[in-house]
Amino acid sequence: MARDKCVLAYSGGMDSTISIVWIRENYNLDVVTLTVDIGGGPELEGVRERAASAGAIESLVWDVKDEFARDFIVPGLKAGAMYESVYALSTAFGRPLMAKKLVEAARQVGAVAVAHGCTGKGNDQVRFDAGIKTLAAHGEPLRIIAPAREWEMTRDEEKEFAARAGLELREVGDDQRVYSIDRNMWGLAIEGEDLEDTWFSAPEDAFSWTQAPDQTPDQAEEVEISFDKGVPTALNGNEMGLVELIDQLNLLAGSHGVGRVDHLENRLVGIKSREVYETPAAVVLYQALAALETATLARDQQRVKAQLAPIYADLVYDGRWYTALRENLDAFVSSAMRYTSGDVRVKLYRGSSTVTGRRSPHSLYDFELATYSTEDEFDHAAAVGFIDIYSLPARTQMKRQTMRDAR
């Protein structure tokens, strides 16, 4: 009799590979692996062979880069969502998409369970579980298995388990630090090992997308980014798809050392953790879009949007992607961004990015109003009456209360 199936989110790494065997042994389920490509150069090569060698009955490899950029990264970028003002949420955007694909795959192959490799102390388990439970709320219930949260094996026990199961795992030398790294096209998150000392400065070999700022070119480089309704569409005048644009900007900004972030972060599960990120394209795009908004949004729109940005960021970070509130916020943001089209010039130099120009056909900047030259059309005389009424409450209060107290 055929066994029931479980779809496992599969990266090809050691934990993930061991999980194939572990799920079969502990749950008596056949394992179908699902590897989703969300960019950032994951090692997809040989992933099917590795899954098969551990006994997976089928392995799915899905390229969802376009969907990731369009439906996850872009809404977050438009909303200005940076967790605790610095983290571009790369991993946090990836998880709800993976959850969605796990549920889709499970329905497709008729699985009774899905599995992911998260441990019990991170944010990612929350994002996966909440996403899966929400998306699977209709239809047959799906069981969630999280081997690394359940198996209680130490690193050495995992290795023994792998050896017993006859798995060949690529070993790294004993002396080598092994950071926990999560990567997709929007960024790279590095944690663990020596970084767990918050005073310890991240060593140069921890970074892979960004040059050390003291090793970057002597010449600054300017890049022009074009946006259409808040969506990036071109680099230096060359129109391109989102995935290509993000990849190119990662390379360009990374080569100037832009995009390194060292953060002591508040996790949803209540602990603080030291996180190092490399998010070159994200840093430049957030900065550029914010600069364009200064031209295309009215002051009040800017203020309200700025208040919603951290709410949006917390919502993404906390695994509440599949909620009506997110859709409501997206609706506001998209409405606010209707006229945020135009170009921004950013200078990249030795680890920093600086906006040096912005323009839009819908800019609210009016030269005739702003200029101090002879072309000035601003009504200076009208300012007198405006200030008279504007300062009326302050003057009244000064006379009736404050001045009286002073007497």
CB nearer to ligand ARG: give 48 or 274: 274
Instruction: Tell me if residue 95 is catalytic.
Output: yes
Give the residue ranges of DSSP H helices in 29-154. 47-53, 65-68, 74-79, 90-109, 124-135, 147-150
Q: Please, are residues 90 and 76 in contact by the beta-carbon 8 Å criterion?
A: no
Query: Closest Cα partner for 274 from 206, 320, 215?
Result: 206
Least Å distance, CB 226 to ligand ARG, is 29
Interatomic CA distance for residues 254 and 208, integer angstroms: 9
Query: Within a 13 Å sphere around the CA of 224, how many CA atoms are in the beta-carbon half?
Result: 11
Strand order in 260-266's β-sheet?
180-184, 187-191, 272-278, 260-266
CA distance 334 to 72: 14
Nearest to ligand ARG of 119, 363 (CB atom): 119
> Which residue in 170, 177, 180, 228 is the catalytic one?
180
CA dihedral 213, 214, 215, 218 (to 10 degrees): 90
Task: Write down the least CB distance from residue 182 to ligand ARG, Å.
Answer: 4
Output 185 or 336, the one with its CB closest to ligand ARG.
Answer: 185
| Cβ neighbourhood burial of 151 (10 Å; 0-12, 13-18, 19+) | middle
Shortest spacing between CB 87 and ligand ARG, in angstroms? 7
Closest to ligand ARG by CB, 259 or 342: 259
Cα diameter, the chain: 96
Q: How many CB atoms lie within 10 A of CB 383?
A: 11
Minimum Å gap between C-beta 317 and ligand ARG is 7
Strand order in the sheet with 231-235: 238-239, 231-235, 221-228, 342-349, 352-359
Q: Exactly one of 15, 30, 182, 247 is catalytic; which is it?
A: 15
CB of 23 to ligand ARG, least distance (A): 20
Task: In whole angstroms, give the CA distance from residue 392 to residue 260.
Answer: 49
The sign of the torsion formed by the CA atoms of 32, 38, 44, 50 equals negative
- From CA 191, how far away is CA 42, in angstroms rounded? 17
- C-beta of residue 53 within 8 angstroms of C-beta of residue 284: no
124 in active site: yes
CB of 48 or CB of 183, closer to ligand ARG:
183
Asked if residues 131 and 95 have their Cβ atoms less than 8 Å apart, the reply is yes
| Nearer to ligand ARG (CB atom), residue 105 or residue 189 | 189
Binding region for ligand ARG (CB under 6 A): 91-92, 123, 180-182, 189, 191, 265, 275
180 is annotated as an active-site residue: yes
The smaller minimum CB distance to ligand ARG, of residues 119 and 248, is found at 119
CB of 350 to ligand ARG, least distance (A): 26
Q: Pairing relation of β-strands 272-278 and 260-266?
A: antiparallel
| 15 labelled catalytic | yes
CA-only gyration radius of the chain, Å: 26
Pairing of strands 5-9, 30-37: parallel
Nearest distance, CB of residue 93 and ligand ARG, angstroms:
9
Q: Which of 124, 129, 182, 247 is catalytic?
A: 124
Residue whose entry in the numeric block shows the structure tokens 């208040």: 307
Min dist. Cβ of residue 305 to ligand ARG (A): 23
Instruction: Report the residue number, 30 or 191, with the smaller CB distance to ligand ARG.
Output: 191
Residues known to be catalytic: 15, 95, 124, 180
